[in-house]
Structure 1
Amino acid sequence: MKPIFQGKPPISFFRHKFHSQCSSINPQVVCNSTSSREEFITNILDRRWTLTNPDTKVHQINVSNLQTQHNPGLLGNVTFSNNSNPPLGENLTELHNNQSSFYIIRDDLLHPLVNGNKARKLDALLPLIEDHSGTDVVTCGGCQSAHTAAIAVCCAERGLKAHLLLRGEQPQILTGYTLISMLYGNVTYIPRSVYSNREEMLLSHADSISGTVVRLDDLLTTSFTIHKSTKSNFHNTRPSNLKKIVIVNEGAGDAIALPGLIRLVKYLSEDNKFGKNQPLKIVVDAGTGTTAVGLGIGALCLGLPWEITAVMLADTIEGYRKQEQHLISELCRCSGLPLMHTRLVHWVQRPRPRKFGNVLKGEVEACQQIARETGVLVDPVYTLAGWEVASQLSQEEGKGGAKVVMIHTGGTLGMFGLAQRYKSYF
């Protein structure tokens, strides 16, 4: 039986997980030559993007121990404060009275509706669909899917039609991502028995739209040769009487989602941010695991001394490692990058394991504490897990060593759906 911590889990718990679940602290990944890596980075970043630029805000969260030990909350006897303008670049190594702290990448602020890792995954995906004359996008997700809402909003902004297959029954009251999906896209609710066979479900629905159906996988190979920054926006030349329907898998967990994360790594490694020499421990919550793999590939190819720690939320470590291998293999096949690997990401358990999507007692109060003390909103299913691990690691690394950095993957509108399902917690 896996341990369930009622309060603050000990540092030794995380240290044990890092060493026991990874065959090596250093990723066993080899790229055959530096020139191959540099050429790969140049090629993969030479394209049009959904985001105008990769900029993001970086905040620093200070972690302070409370003197009292009375009734510690889920996060333990600590309090947080937020420095929204921390020293970076050449001032990054400045000491702050030896206080524990971690940096947080505020990707939740990228867009009011499309933010976090959804924005990064779609950064290269939508222009690729446009450049292959796509007109419609079919995808799927849960009732409160941030992915389907992001697809709907981005497609609407670019003149594409989004067809969203949501698992289960329509709620009596639409809130959060379900509401956004309905407002921006064409929503169909799918019985769970049908949804269980996602591939057949997506293809069947795409066929019903009447047009040429293509899978996103089929566009990957050409994306590294055709999809360049100099290519004109195809909105001006698209035939108005032809439909091309592109199927995007649940969560956009495809290799084409990786360039957006690599672009983020390149931005964060600039001299006026974290630079290329500062050791970092990057912490990210992992749904499909695509975000973590993209960050790991970017760090590897840029030669950065960064470790990627992904908090597993929806699968076993074997499942995540299989997904990691699949994504890297697909990217290498499409780009020609000579990459061999066994471990790229440190996959670790969340402090309180549970069935994916469930909320446990005390987690909403923890999100409330973080929001009130820092102005940062996290959610109990995804980003709270990343915050907990980043907070613990920052206390371990408080007297030197690597800087701890949490990627805020967004998803905060999901709180509305959780408030519907877990009324007693709100």
Structure 2
Amino acid sequence: MKLQGLQSKSALTAMRNGFHSSRHIESCQGVSKLKLDGEEFVSNLLNRRWTLPSPDTQIHQVLLRHRPSGSISLLNNSCPFFGHGMKRVGKEDSYFYIVRDDLLHPLVNGNKARKLDGLLPIVEDNLVTDVVTCGGCQSAHAAAIAVLCAERGLSSHLLLRGEQPEILTGYNLISTVYGNVTYVPRSIYANREEILRKQANLVAGCSGHVIWFNDVLEASYMTQISAAAPDHMKMYVSRSAENHPRKVIIVNEGAGDAVALLGVIRLLQYLSQTHLLGKDRPLKFVVDAGTGTTAVGLALGARCLGLPWEVNAVMLADTIGNYRQQEEHLISEFKRHFGFHLNNHCLNKVDGGIVHWVERRHPRKFGNVLGGEIEACQQIAQQTGILVDPMYTLAAWEMATLLSKEAKGETEVVMLHTGGTLGMFGLAQRYKTYFRVL
């Protein structure tokens, strides 16, 4: 009632001043039309086949309880209430939501599952028989490609950087079990394009055909712009690779291309439903950033849907200058490939600056795992049942904790759990000394 009174008083004042006129109405209609256009754009964009049967994911709530001793205990609420005005346990307590994408698939989860959500159907539509990609020895991307290809009857060929470990574990083990692994010396691996091309030609043989995923994407959307044919991707293959017994496609390292943004935007559309996070409440999203692709996808989805959501990406693998450059590149590629849906959408004016890139809370040299961070992961696991790793998701957890403490009640914090939990096995193998103290 109080809010309605204020609105009525504001409306009366506006009428007295001559502003409650067609200009005011047009302004309100403009905001509504912008949201409508954004939702229509996203609906058109996401009208395709997907790898994941559903974009659904679990959302938990992590409560931070302050003890009299000054320490903080953690509590995981797996069935949180998403309505406004949620009561906190205590005045000093804080909380944040966590999107449990680490639970999407036992082996393919987090941002790897989202990146490949829109990519694999395109591969299938091109009647491909083999997929070639590359990554580090403990590459979650390579393992995801191997598992998803095996589930679809495709062969995967994985070029992994470095030497074969004495004992296979983590993502390295999964890649080997599900795919065909070749280890590449670091000096040769530096020329990724060349090693990918050679491996693809070797797999294809004399009678096979090799294509790059980027070329398929380019050709398919050129076709869609000129004539929206539902089977345009299959048409592309039938013209260029028919009668070839093996059709090999090359997917870049990490699948960090514009098509990887689609699955993240699909996730955001799901989260913005009224019974979940909704479209009106201001939120601070937190995500760890390797390549930064997931963060850009979140920010683009928020812009497309007109959501008052800020995306905070914790930088873990590069400089802020390079992250901003990657952001601009991905946005440019996204608009180029999917721009035929944009029309006069406000996204046309966006070239970058939509992600808030932040330093890790406890700066350190990337790759230098510390015992304290492993112990922090242990504490989180024991108190909440949530597994984070000391390299990536712990950084997002720390930032979400910090932002939730600073929140004044008007803005809530949401952490996206990007998975990668199998990486703990590889870390334990590489950093034995730190894990012996557990």
Residues 233 and 158 (structure 1), Cα distance of their counterparts in 2 relative to 1, 3 Å cut? farther
- Tell me which residue corresponds to 1:154: 148
- Tell me which residue corresponds to 2:210: 213
State the distance in 1 between where 2:129 and 2:44 align.
26
State the distance in 2 between where 1:305 and 1:185 align.
42
Query: SS at the partner of 1:354?
Result: coil
- Tell me which residue corresponds to 1:84: 78
1:367-401 deviations in whole A, cap 9, x for unaligned? Answer: 0000000000000011000000001101111x412
Contact 2:220–2:232 under 8 Å retained in 1? no
- Tell me which residue corresponds to 1:111: 105
Equivalent residue in structure 1 for 2:259, among 256, 261, 268:
256
Query: Is 1:284 the equivalent of 2:294?
Result: no
Q: Could you state the TM-score of these two structures normalised by the residue count of structure 1? A: 0.85
Aligned counterparts, 1:335-354, within 5 A: 335-336=338-339, 337=342, 338-354=348-364
Query: SS at the partner of 1:187?
Result: strand
Q: Could you state the TM-score of these two structures normalised by the residue count of structure 2? A: 0.83
Contact 2:287–2:417 under 8 Å retained in 1? yes
| Letter of the 2:85 counterpart | T
Contact 1:213–1:244 under 8 Å retained in 2? yes
- Deviation for aligned residue 1:222: 4.9
| Letter of the 1:424 counterpart | T
Query: SS at the partner of 1:341?
Result: coil
Query: SS at the partner of 2:211?
Result: strand
Contact 1:136–1:244 under 8 Å retained in 2? yes
Task: Tell which has more relative contact order, 1 or 2 (C-alpha 8 A, sep 6+).
Answer: 1
| Letter of the 1:212 counterpart | H
Contact 2:331–2:352 under 8 Å retained in 1? no
- Deviation for aligned residue 1:160: 1.1
Q: Which has the higher helix share?
A: 2
- Deviation for aligned residue 1:315: 0.5
- Tell me which residue corresponds to 1:272: 275
| Structure 1: gaps spanning 5 or more residues | 1-31, 70-76
Q: Please, which moves more after superposition, 367-376 or 241-250? A: 241-250
State the distance in 2 between where 1:342 and 1:241 align.
42
Contact 2:287–2:418 under 8 Å retained in 1? yes
| Structure 2: gaps spanning 5 or more residues | 1-32, 343-347
Equivalent residue in structure 1 for 2:392, among 368, 371, 382:
382
- Tell me which residue corresponds to 2:333: 330
Identity %: 62
Query: Is 1:305 the equivalent of 2:308?
Result: yes
Equivalent residue in structure 2 for 1:143, among 137, 156, 159:
137
Contact 1:48–1:231 under 8 Å retained in 2? no
Query: Is 1:406 the equivalent of 2:407?
Result: no
Query: SS at the partner of 1:95?
Result: coil
Contact 1:48–1:229 under 8 Å retained in 2? no
Q: Please, which moves more after superposition, 319-328 or 95-104? A: 95-104
Contact 1:378–1:412 under 8 Å retained in 2? yes
State the distance in 2 between where 1:198 and 1:102 align.
40
Contact 2:126–2:233 under 8 Å retained in 1? no
- Deviation for aligned residue 1:352: 2.6
State the distance in 1 between where 2:229 and 2:428 align.
43
Query: Is 1:423 the equivalent of 2:424?
Result: no
Query: SS at the partner of 1:362?
Result: helix
- Deviation for aligned residue 1:342: 3.2
- Deviation for aligned residue 1:38: 3.9
- Tell me which residue corresponds to 2:22: none
- Tell me which residue corresponds to 2:27: none
- Deviation for aligned residue 1:219: 2.2
- Tell me which residue corresponds to 1:197: 191
Residues 118 and 92 (structure 1), Cα distance of their counterparts in 2 relative to 1, 3 Å cut? farther
Residues 34 and 402 (structure 1), Cα distance of their counterparts in 2 relative to 1, 3 Å cut? closer
Contact 1:261–1:298 under 8 Å retained in 2? yes
- Tell me which residue corresponds to 1:128: 122
